[in-house]
Every structure is written in structure tokens, then in C-alpha cells.
């Protein structure tokens, strides 16, 4: 395996809260994939703070991922094309779908992600690895 790219992102949770207020909550449905949205809604139902922290970490992971693969937010990379989910152990994993999954497969790219949050910030770090020769 070789490193294809590395990405990191740090976001202030209050900025996410402000966007959620400005968009009347639509930001979550624009950014989160279907599986992430289910978890977000459950966490938000228990605690608005926990829901917001979840949204911030997932947004941060998508930003870090887009940097690691070098596309930014350009096709086939879209907000909902990659989700940060958790294995039963709690370990976060990134799962791509649609054209982005195909793009990653063609390049032999797999991802490793770590996420963390504190009251004011969420941070993510993504390593994209490949088993194909890097061009």
C-alpha cells in the first residue's frame, strides 16, 4: 500500500449550528448520507448537542476525505457520496457509493479516518491509500 493522499479538517461547531439555523435544518439533509441521517436524527432526538456534534464530525470527515483524494468538492465527490459510519467496535469507517465508489475502485483507493470532537470543535484526519501505482 502507498499513500495516495492525506486530508485534515477542523471546524468550529458553532459555525455548523449557525448554518443549521440559517437553512432551517436542511443542511443536515444536504450533507449527510442516508445511514448517517438515521444516526443523526436518533442522536438529535436524545440531545440537540449530541446531534450537532455528530453532524459537525461527519461534515469535517467529508472535507478531510475530499482533500485526501485531491478532488475537493467536484464530481464524483459529493457530500452524500461518502458516509462516515461505525463498525460494531465503534471504529469509524468511510463508505462510498455511486460514481465515487467506482472512481475509488478504479484507483484502488481505500480510506482510514479518525474523528474527534470537543464542545467547540470537531476534527477529522483521513489517509487515502492505494494498491495501484500512483500516476
The answer to whether position 48 is within a domain reads yes
Average pLDDT, the chain: 94
Which residues are known binding-site members for Mg(2+)? 9, 63
Which residues are known binding-site members? 9, 63
The answer to whether position 22 is within a domain reads yes
Instruction: Tell me which residue range forms the domain holding 91.
Output: 2-130
- Give yes or no for residue 135 having a pLDDT over 70: no
List, for residues 76-110, the tens digit of each pLDDT value: 989 999 999 999 999 999 999 999 999 999 999 99
Q: How many domains does the chain have?
A: 1
The answer to whether position 99 is within a domain reads yes
Does residue 93 sit in helix, strand or coil?
strand
The answer to whether position 135 is within a domain reads no
- Give yes or no for residue 28 having a pLDDT over 90: yes
pTM of the model: 0.93
List, for residues 47-83, the tens digit of each pLDDT value: 999 999 999 999 999 999 999 999 878 889 899 999 9
- CATH code: domain of residue 83: 3.90.470.20
Measured at the alpha carbon of residue 112, what is the angle toward residues 60 and 47, in degrees to the nearest 5?
Answer: 40
Cβ atoms within 10 A of the Cβ of 128, count?
Answer: 24
Q: How many angstroms separate the first and last alpha carbons of the chain? A: 14
Amino acid at each position: 500500500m502507498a499513500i495516495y493522499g492525506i486530508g485534515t479538517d477542523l471546524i468550529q461547531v458553532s459555525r455548523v449550528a449557525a448554518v443549521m439555523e440559517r437553512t432551517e435544518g436542511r443542511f443536515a439533509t444536504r450533507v449527510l448520507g442516508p445511514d448517517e441521517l438515521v444516526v443523526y436524527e436518533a442522536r438529535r432526538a436524545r440531545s440537540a448537542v449530541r446531534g450537532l456534534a455528530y453532524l459537525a464530525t461527519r461534515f469535517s470527515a467529508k472535507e478531510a476525505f475530499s482533500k485526501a483524494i485531491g478532488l475537493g468538492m467536484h464530481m464524483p465527490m459529493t457530500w452524500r457520496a461518502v458516509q462516515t459510519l461505525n463498525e460494531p467496535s465503534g471504529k469509524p469507517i468511510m463508505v462510498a457509493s455511486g460514481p465515487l465508489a467506482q472512481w475509488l475502485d478504479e484507483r484502488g483507493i481505500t480510506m482510514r479516518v479518525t474523528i474527534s470532537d470537543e464542545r467547540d470543535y470537531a476534527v477529522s484526519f483521513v489517509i487515502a491509500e492505494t494498491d495501484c501505482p500512483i500516476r
